[in-house]
Structure 1
Amino acid sequence: MASQREQQLMRRALELAANGPARGVNPRVGCVIVSPDGTIIGEGWHRGAGTPHAEVAALSQTAPDAARGATAIVTLEPCNHTGRTGPCVDALLDAGIARVVYASTDPGGDSSGGGTRLRESGVDVEGGVLESEVDAFLGTWMTTARLARPHVTVKWASSLDGRTAAADGTSQWITGAESRADAHLLRSQHDAIAVGTGTVLTDDPSLTARDSAGALLAEQPVPVVFGTRAIPGGARLRQHPLPLIQVDGRDLAADLRLLRERGIRSLFIEGGPTLVSAFVRAGLVDSYVVYLAPALLGGDRVALTDIGVASIDEARRLTITDITLTGDDARLTLSPKGR
């Protein structure tokens, strides 16, 4: 069982991992090399595709033969395949590492199995140390690797009683400027943003990420539209800096696989209740972001429609992972219970 010291060092490895690129194709991984007497002799993290993996980066800081008999603390199971770089398992074995402690198991079909190979080579291996924390940190990458589809986040803004518009259909603005600015920042942190054709035809959104002055942010999400209806040539989406992707929306799981093949790893859904409810009903939502305004509207303009829940026993329970005040509003971040 991992010692308290090793758990502390795993948190240090997680801090190192956060230095890596947040939206790269590879996971953000950190590694700490510890001598038999408990001294840190090397630290490293993965800096992006084609660069040394965290284990190799950490080993490069050690003196010749200093890692022999040492322990490697790494946030993700060492890889066991050759891509742009060689297997981390080989580097650890060549360095004479005696013990490897890792958090999350590598879900990749080609890259997994590093822990098993290390054990078979006589290395003392322990996995699952702070696994839930590291899995949460890896979020988008882990979802994509495990499920071969983008990590899906749905977002809506509503009154306290769950209404997204007043009885006459007006909805600008339920939440305040701070919430809207925060939502635009979230847009910029995702590979793509999605709505349904109904929203396009009714609201004519631009689906860009902008600052409070209306200027485009440096990072823009790819606009995605679900549905078969034609998008007008004059729609503001046609002026988006990135090319539009339209999928028919009949098979959401297949659509997500297609988007993954197009390089989309994180999808931010801002569609209306029809599209959002379809994703919830299909069990394809990985996280929720809900902006709640301290206002009451009443009426039937609700955030969700039918999600396949007939009784309270069937309620889709969520776990609140964060509550942040955005001006006068509250932003809730949630995940499906059990994930």
Structure 2
Amino acid sequence: MTTGDHSMADAAAMRRALELATRGPAKGVNPRVGCVILSRQGELLAEGWHRGAGTAHAEIDALSKLAPGDAQGATAVVTLEPCNHTGLTGPCTVALIDAGVARVVFAVADPGDLSSGGADRLREGGVEVTGGVLADEAEALLDDWLFAARHRRPHITVKWASSLDGRAAASDGSSQWITGSAARADVHRRRAAADAIAVGTGTVFADDPSLTARAPGGEFFDAQPVPVVFGRRPVPSDAAITRHPHAPVFVEGADLAVDLRELQRRGIRSLFVEGGPTLASAFLAAGLVDELLVYLAPTLLGGPRLAVGDLGVASIEGARRFEFAAVVRLGDDVLVVAHPVSSGAARSSTSINEGN
């Protein structure tokens, strides 16, 4: 892939392609992609963008607006490396080659298992290829999709609320409410920003959560996370999640890596983990946490109801290290945002105890 200095014409066309990409859906299996086709003289011939799974890709959308032969010798400027596989639609590489496109400019390489390799296929077909044009801007636009595609899983946020001494509930199991209204409002706002929200079956049985995202007045946000339940126990047919705006997704929790890959395959790019200590601990022990949200209340509870269980840490040398990203005051409470310090590989397989 060629990188480095790029012409002003390439950059201008890519900027327009990025604008077109924003017209596509921000969620789902497929990325937002825009395409601009220029003549040999640099004049605009056609534009296109992807409208969602099953619809024409951006390159095909743009080519469809041209008469046969009009793309001969043209340059296609695309925000993402053209795909090289047949899914619900055919490979864009073949369509570009067949249309006679002489040059392809793209911003970011496609990290997909099946769809990558488009640049090489184009070169084999005699097309000149330039990559990396406005890559930073494209990375920002496709941030969540690229993360999920590169890691083969959603971005994982684990959240809990606890007392200063790390308890998620009192000794009798009561936990409503450890934190105040400002903290709870912040949680609901973050729920609405996630593609999905996860709990374990233990939380479903103990708390019967609705897993919706609601404004302080109780009304639903327009965006609602898909409810995901980890565990093997069947959920009662009258559980609150069965009345969620989205149908719940159930995964066994026997292998988190496999489960997360399935969620990514379903188009879930970000997962908000809000289950009890068992679920949070499983993600932490597996090294599958990208962000921690810890809501601390200025209270002490004591007792056995810890927010986090066993992480498999036998000594201080094995501690799971995080670094603070932000500390936010929310009414009487404090939100601590932390990200993991990269140190060693995550475990390849962690299962969730049937208790959650």
TM bucket, shorter chain: 0.7 to 0.9
Q: Does 1:151 align with 2:159?
A: no
1:159 shift after superposition? 7.0
Report the equivalent of 1:193.
197
1:75 shift after superposition? 1.9
Deviations 1:247-306 (A, max 9, x none): 443322233345567775643311123312211221333x4262656x544666765444
1:173 shift after superposition? 5.3
Q: Distance in 2 between matches of 1:332 and 1:40?
A: 46
Residues 218, 68 of structure 1: alpha-carbon distance in 2 compared, 3 angstrom cutoff: same
Deviations 1:118-169 (A, max 9, x none): 1122222133445565455434544554555x41422425479695747676
Read off the aligned partner of 2:202 and give its amino acid letter. Answer: G
Read off the aligned partner of 2:177 and give its amino acid letter. Answer: Q
Residues 231, 58 of structure 1: alpha-carbon distance in 2 compared, 3 angstrom cutoff: closer
Report the equivalent of 1:288.
291
Residues 330, 58 of structure 1: alpha-carbon distance in 2 compared, 3 angstrom cutoff: farther
Alignment of 1:80-229 (within 5 A): 80-131=84-135, 134-135=138-139, 137-146=141-150, 148=152, 150-158=153-161, 163=166, 165=168, 170=175, 172=177, 174-177=179-182, 180-228=184-232
Q: Distance in 1 between matches of 2:35 and 2:324?
A: 30
Q: Distance in 2 between matches of 1:15 and 1:332?
A: 32
Percentage of pairs with the same residue: 52
Secondary structure of 1:206's partner? coil
Q: Distance in 2 between matches of 1:318 and 1:133?
A: 27
TM-score normalised to structure 1 length: 0.75
Residues 336, 160 of structure 1: alpha-carbon distance in 2 compared, 3 angstrom cutoff: farther
Whether the aligned pair in 2 keeps the contact of 1:319 and 1:336 (CA below 8 Å) is: no
Residues 269, 313 of structure 1: alpha-carbon distance in 2 compared, 3 angstrom cutoff: closer
Residues 119, 170 of structure 1: alpha-carbon distance in 2 compared, 3 angstrom cutoff: same
Residues 172, 130 of structure 1: alpha-carbon distance in 2 compared, 3 angstrom cutoff: farther
Aligned counterpart for 2:282 among listed residues 262, 278, 295: 278
Q: In structure 1, list runs of 5 or more residues that go unmatched.
A: none
Whether the aligned pair in 2 keeps the contact of 1:144 and 1:265 (CA below 8 Å) is: yes
Q: In structure 2, list runs of 5 or more residues that go unmatched.
A: 344-356
Residues 184, 41 of structure 1: alpha-carbon distance in 2 compared, 3 angstrom cutoff: farther
Aligned residue pair count? 333
Secondary structure of 1:119's partner? helix
1:47 shift after superposition? 0.9
Secondary structure of 1:91's partner? helix
Secondary structure of 1:276's partner? helix
Which of 1 and 2 has higher RCO (CA within 8 Å, sep 6+)?
2
Whether the aligned pair in 2 keeps the contact of 1:157 and 1:164 (CA below 8 Å) is: no
Aligned counterpart for 1:24 among listed residues 9, 23, 28: 28
Q: Distance in 1 between matches of 2:42 and 2:166?
A: 56
Q: Distance in 1 between matches of 2:59 and 2:266?
A: 30
Q: Distance in 2 between matches of 1:70 and 1:16?
A: 19
Whether the aligned pair in 1 keeps the contact of 2:28 and 2:267 (CA below 8 Å) is: no
More deviation in 116-125 or 296-305?
296-305
Residues 193, 162 of structure 1: alpha-carbon distance in 2 compared, 3 angstrom cutoff: farther
Read off the aligned partner of 1:114 and give its amino acid letter. Answer: G
Residues 84, 312 of structure 1: alpha-carbon distance in 2 compared, 3 angstrom cutoff: same
Residues 2, 85 of structure 1: alpha-carbon distance in 2 compared, 3 angstrom cutoff: farther
1:29 shift after superposition? 1.0
Whether the aligned pair in 2 keeps the contact of 1:2 and 1:126 (CA below 8 Å) is: no
Q: Distance in 2 between matches of 1:289 and 1:53?
A: 36
More deviation in 10-19 or 119-128?
10-19
1:221 shift after superposition? 3.6
Residues 199, 160 of structure 1: alpha-carbon distance in 2 compared, 3 angstrom cutoff: closer
Q: Distance in 2 between matches of 1:134 and 1:61?
A: 24
Q: Distance in 2 between matches of 1:304 and 1:281?
A: 10
Report the equivalent of 1:72.
76
